[in-house]
Chains A and B, each alone.
Chain A
Amino acid sequence: MTQINNEPRTSGAVDSAAAAPSDLGTGSWKSTAGSKMASVMGSVPGPLIGLIIIFIALSFLSPFFLTPRNLLNILSQVSAIGVMSVGAVLIIIIGGIDLSVGSVVALSSMSMAWLFRVAELPFEIALVGGLVVGALIGLINGLLTAYGKLQPFIATLATMSAAAGLALFLTNGNPVNGFPQWFLAITSTSFIGIPIQGIVLILIFAITAFWLRYRPSGRALYAIGGNEEVARLSGLPIRRAKIAVYVIAGILAAIAGLLVTSRLDSAQPTAGVADLLNVIAVVVIGGASLSGGSGSMLGTFVGLLIIGVLNNGMSLLNVSPNLQPVVVGFVIVAAVMTDRRTSRKKS
């Protein structure tokens, strides 16, 4: 029989795939580290190139930018948003969206403060309580979308509103401070030269990346976001996966809330509420599609660094803080447009 690759779509795809270093192709199916690396990097070319360009430009523009101290500083600055982004990208991979992430930061932080200062529980229990509150909001999001069949945008809009209100209600809008020294030390101490919060961030990214790549339940997320009916007929536990992902996102938002609280030495009822758009920006710049089924941890990390480096660089260059979101807006458009161009070339 003749080869059936004459359709235009097919031939294009075959050509470009043949050009890329690939081990899955014709004869040999053995993996090599080199080609695996290439295929991983191949999924984030646009954002990564953007990051490198921004990095080089800022190194020339500001003498303070390319110093170890400043670079570690950037890592600390992005840690809270970064932890939130991990939850957000998981939800976006399954085709959902979580608007409540910022409010969960505030509510879990205020819940911890309330349990510690008002209910006068031991701090360790209050801390776990904060995480439980985050998980609970995630559970509600998950139940509403998986069983209540609400669109995630609507479900999380509701919980966003409720969580933001509760965070203010708990202490009547007053911030709470006076936390134990060891808790504050989390965000002011370094371990082998790297800030602990940066280590936490990288660990969370690494674990999640491993989960998505090697665990069947992680791989299933792509299938669910890509085509839910296909995933369902393949016997994947869709509802369980959805709920799990929203709960994980809630816990991660709560962890981000703890980092913010520790850094400020104060639980602020509006902390993190403004971070929602940054988090979505990170995920989108990182190459995930809001229609679901795509997104990677490496891409998200690059997206996170782009946002972090940009904000840091603009501050060093004395760009008005009010102008910084404008630049972020431009970067989102540029990132998504280049990303779409390269992915169109691929298929």
Chain B
Amino acid sequence: MTEVVSDTLYSADRVSNANGSSAGLVCLGLSKSYGGTSVLTQVDLSLTPGSVLGLVGENGAGKSTTSSIIAGMVRPDGGSMTIDGEIYDPQSPADALKAGVALIHQEIRMVSELSVAENIFLGRLPMRRGRVDRKLMNEESRSILKLLGSDTDPRRQVAGLSIAAQQEIEIARALTREPRYIIFDEPSASLGESETERVFDQIRILRDQGAGIVYISHRLEEIRTLADTVVCLRDGKRVAAWETGDVSKEDIVRAMVGRDFVFSHLAPKDATTEVALEVRGLGRTGVFEGINFAVNRGEILGFSGLVGAGRTEMVRTIAGADRHDAGEILVDGTAVKIRGPRSAINAGIAMVPEDRKGQGLNLDRTGAENITLPWEPSLTTGGIMTVRTVNATANLQREFLDIRSKLDIPVGSLSGGNQQKVLLGKWLVTRPRVLILDEPTRGVDVGAKMAIYKTIRSLAEQGVAIIVISSELEEVLGLSHRVLVMSGGRQRGILDRADATPEAVMALALITDSSDDAQPSNQPGSSPQGRSESQ
């Protein structure tokens, strides 16, 4: 393993020497600043055809800026790029595509009313005698999708396809331009483990066909399995590079944060024996059924399973976001009727949703406004909510959660980590007895992740019952006292911390409906729910 850690520049000669020639896409000294703030300083990258370059770094380290520059979306202030020794200076994404460079975005952008093939060829539908040549379009789409190992019918509508399938269409769209260099900007952010595996397979196919690939991810395991070389950015500078993908996680993390970090595998403090939340026979027709579990005060219960296992759907009914039509929910031993988010909050249940932008935060409003949104009576005096109370409440959460930003600016302009902390703070204001965290560290950098883990642990120690859902197995296993595994909308088992090995969890998560070890229990005593507040 050749590790190169340097705080100074990586010289151009060494980049090209390392590869023996200037073949491929070479970036030298890329720099960019916005309004006096430097976001990228003298970054060198070298991408060889037929290899995968893993690009890592915390949020704000400059990964996205680098990829935007390479893809022609942002013009650099300094530096140069060459492809096979020739100057490459894209003025726009269209230029970049012409030169054979494609960027696959983190967020999926689909016109859901159009067909799969139309999305793949969006903006340049093949024409024949003044009409769209559907036959050609569908055939080409089919062959590209087949290359990716997908059998999605190109004629069907995009609406209703899974996120993973849409991601494939996104990749297929880029492939129609026959790019030689492809940048994947966190493609796994919204995918579960098995879907991610599939994307990996696709990336390997593209690599084997000679494409040069930049793979950006927060998930270090992925970088290790996929990358041939790894480059780490920090504060807009290239701080480390490895000529192999076989880098230890600790090494990468040290380079990313500039210090050692050890994700505590220490067991959490013992939970109490007081049951805070109990769920009996919970079900929602066609989505999940027969869910039975209890969480004690001070306990962290992890939820594991593949995407689509029904975990999110299940906790949403506990938090009143959706209706459940079977079973009952008990808080502190008393059955509570959850008719909507309000009644869940009143019962002491808070849920931090997985979709921060769509469900968690009002991005145009300030952090302070977001934190005080859940309308706590304690925040008003005589029915009046003063600016002072709002600010004091926000400040309290800012200190407790170590939010590293002002809170009087729109949350949309904060980093992912700070946004997530604001979202957490918003729910802590309601002083929940039961806190449900759905993907609490999605799209969050390592530093913020650690801070959030620490907060979760300390909340548990204060007696809050916590449910954590995460697609990252390590996160669930590291945090939880016990792990509940779901698949196909059913509960497949609850493992104690000692038994919850990755293998044991995956074995349960892969159980299919045919194996009938969890009986659906539609308890007759369950009362019909009132209309939910869903709009």
Taking Cβ atoms with an 8 Å cutoff, the residues of A that contact B are: 1-15, 17, 22-26, 29-31, 36, 146, 149, 214-216, 219-220, 222-223, 226-239, 293-294, 347
B445 interface contact, C-beta 8 A: yes
CB neighbours of A17 from chain B (8 A): 406, 408-409
**Whole-angstrom CA separation of A227 from B415 in the bound complex:** 20
**Whole-angstrom CA separation of A134 from B410 in the bound complex:** 37
Q: Given A14-B409, A24-B407 in contact, is the A238-B535 Cβ separation under 8 Å? A: yes
A347 touching B413, Cβ below 8 Å: yes
Q: Which of B481-535 contact A (CB under 8 A)?
A: 533-535
**Whole-angstrom CA separation of A347 from B412 in the bound complex:** 9
Q: Which of B375-397 contact A (CB under 8 A)?
A: 375, 379-380, 383-388, 391-392, 394-395
A10 touching B447, Cβ below 8 Å: no
**Whole-angstrom CA separation of A23 from B448 in the bound complex:** 26
Please name 13 further chain A to chain B contacts, defined as beta carbons within 8 Å, in addition to the given A230-B360, A232-B534, A237-B342, sorted by A numbering.
A2-B235, A2-B258, A7-B60, A8-B65, A17-B406, A29-B392, A214-B386, A216-B380, A227-B363, A233-B321, A233-B351, A233-B353, A233-B359
Which of B236, B374, B375 has the most CB atoms of chain A within a 10 A radius of its CB?
Answer: B375
Q: Which of B31-39, B45-53, B190-198, B274-282 contacts A (4 or more CB under 8 A)?
A: B31-39
Listed by A's residue number, 29 A-B pairs whose Cβ atoms lie within 8 Å are A1-B404, A2-B257, A4-B448, A5-B37, A6-B39, A7-B64, A13-B409, A14-B405, A14-B406, A15-B36, A17-B409, A22-B408, A24-B368, A29-B391, A216-B385, A222-B362, A226-B365, A231-B373, A232-B534, A233-B319, A234-B375, A235-B340, A235-B346, A236-B373, A237-B342, A237-B533, A238-B535, A294-B364, A347-B409
**Whole-angstrom CA separation of A10 from B61 in the bound complex:** 13
CB neighbours of A220 from chain B (8 A): 375
> In the complex, how many angstroms separate the beta carbon of A288 from the nearest chain B beta carbon?
13
> In the complex, how many angstroms separate the beta carbon of B34 from the nearest chain A beta carbon?
4
**Whole-angstrom CA separation of A146 from B236 in the bound complex:** 48
**Whole-angstrom CA separation of A76 from B426 in the bound complex:** 45
> In the complex, how many angstroms separate the beta carbon of B442 from the nearest chain A beta carbon?
16
Q: Given A12-B35, A237-B342 in contact, is the A5-B392 Cβ separation under 8 Å? A: no
A215 touching B385, Cβ below 8 Å: yes
B415 touching A7, Cβ below 8 Å: yes
B410 touching A347, Cβ below 8 Å: yes
Tell me which of B60, B345, B383 contacts A5 (CB under 8 A). B60
A233 touching B61, Cβ below 8 Å: no
CB neighbours of B319 from chain A (8 A): 233
Taking Cβ atoms with an 8 Å cutoff, the residues of B that contact A are: 34-37, 39, 58-62, 64-65, 234-236, 257-258, 319-321, 340-342, 344-346, 351, 353, 358-366, 368-369, 373-375, 379-380, 383-388, 391-392, 394-395, 404-410, 412-415, 417-418, 426, 445, 447-448, 533-535
> In the complex, how many angstroms separate the beta carbon of A20 from the nearest chain B beta carbon?
9
CB neighbours of B34 from chain A (8 A): 8, 11-12
B234 touching A235, Cβ below 8 Å: no
> In the complex, how many angstroms separate the beta carbon of B76 from the nearest chain A beta carbon?
13
**Whole-angstrom CA separation of A231 from B359 in the bound complex:** 8
Tell me which of A2, A146, A215 contacts B58 (CB under 8 A). A2
**Whole-angstrom CA separation of A139 from B394 in the bound complex:** 36
**Whole-angstrom CA separation of A101 from B520 in the bound complex:** 53
CB neighbours of B409 from chain A (8 A): 13-14, 17, 347
B374 touching A214, Cβ below 8 Å: no
Q: Given A2-B258, A17-B408 in contact, is the A11-B37 Cβ separation under 8 Å? A: yes
B413 touching A234, Cβ below 8 Å: no
> In the complex, how many angstroms separate the beta carbon of B306 from the nearest chain A beta carbon?
24
**Whole-angstrom CA separation of A22 from B409 in the bound complex:** 10
> In the complex, how many angstroms separate the beta carbon of B55 from the nearest chain A beta carbon?
15
Which of B36, B61, B394, B406 has the most CB atoms of chain A within a 10 A radius of its CB?
Answer: B406
**Whole-angstrom CA separation of A146 from B418 in the bound complex:** 34
CB neighbours of B387 from chain A (8 A): 31, 36
**Whole-angstrom CA separation of A10 from B388 in the bound complex:** 25
Q: Given A4-B418, A8-B65, A15-B36 in contact, is the A227-B362 Cβ separation under 8 Å? A: yes
CB neighbours of B368 from chain A (8 A): 24
**Whole-angstrom CA separation of A13 from B64 in the bound complex:** 18
CB neighbours of B365 from chain A (8 A): 222-223, 226, 293
CB neighbours of B360 from chain A (8 A): 230, 233
Q: Given A4-B58, A347-B412 in contact, is the A214-B385 Cβ separation under 8 Å? A: yes
CB neighbours of A146 from chain B (8 A): 535
> In the complex, how many angstroms separate the beta carbon of B422 from the nearest chain A beta carbon?
12
A1 touching B385, Cβ below 8 Å: no
**Whole-angstrom CA separation of A16 from B418 in the bound complex:** 19
B406 touching A26, Cβ below 8 Å: yes
B447 touching A235, Cβ below 8 Å: no
> Which A residue's beta carbon lies closest to that of B258?
A2
**Whole-angstrom CA separation of A9 from B445 in the bound complex:** 17
A24 touching B391, Cβ below 8 Å: yes
> Which A residue's beta carbon lies closest to that of B233?
A6
> Which A residue's beta carbon lies closest to that of B235?
A2
CB neighbours of B407 from chain A (8 A): 24
> Which B residue's beta carbon lies closest to that of A9?
B413
**Whole-angstrom CA separation of A9 from B59 in the bound complex:** 13
B391 touching A230, Cβ below 8 Å: no
Which of A11, A226, A233 has the most CB atoms of chain B within a 10 A radius of its CB?
Answer: A233
